[in-house]
Copies of this chain bind each other. A is one copy, B any other.
Amino acid sequence: MPPPYKRHVFVCTNRRPEGNPKGCCASKGAEEVRAAFKEEMDKRGLKGGMRANAAGCLDTCAFGVAVVVYPEGTWYGGVKVEDVPEIVDQHLVNGRPVERLMMPFSRKEKAGS
């Protein structure tokens, strides 16, 4: 009975048909990003206490690959496989969200809080 998770990561893996003007996270490498989260979590023995979940459309298509981390509600955009170790180490393990990868509204919220 694994949850509740200390941190629950949702990666948008939505796929739209080729040529859709909105684009989609799947075409930008979302499955690879999710696999990287799982792998980096496993490497650090975090499995069970955290989860890298697939999600349907997170409605932030312009910022794909889109990732949201709860319970903080930190939104990351344009996430690439090579960004994942930094998010895992700095945010998931040490609780310091990675400013440079946040979506604009997530940054603004933090700045204003």
- A18-26, A82-90, A92-100, A102-110 - interface stretch: A102-110
Total count of chain A residues near the partner, CB < 8 A: 28
Q: C-beta contact mask, A71-83 vs B, less than 8 Å → 1, else 0?
A: 1110100000000
Which residues on the B side are within 8 Å of A75 (C-beta)?
3-4
Question: Distance in Å from the Cβ of A6 to the closest Cβ of chain B?
Answer: 10
Count copies of this chain in the complex. 2
Contact A73 B73 (CB under 8 A): no
- A73's partner among B10, B53, B58, B70 (CB-CB below 8 A) is B70
Contact A68 B8 (CB under 8 A): yes
Which residues on the B side are within 8 Å of A54 (C-beta)?
55-57
Question: Distance in Å from the Cβ of A36 to the closest Cβ of chain B?
Answer: 16
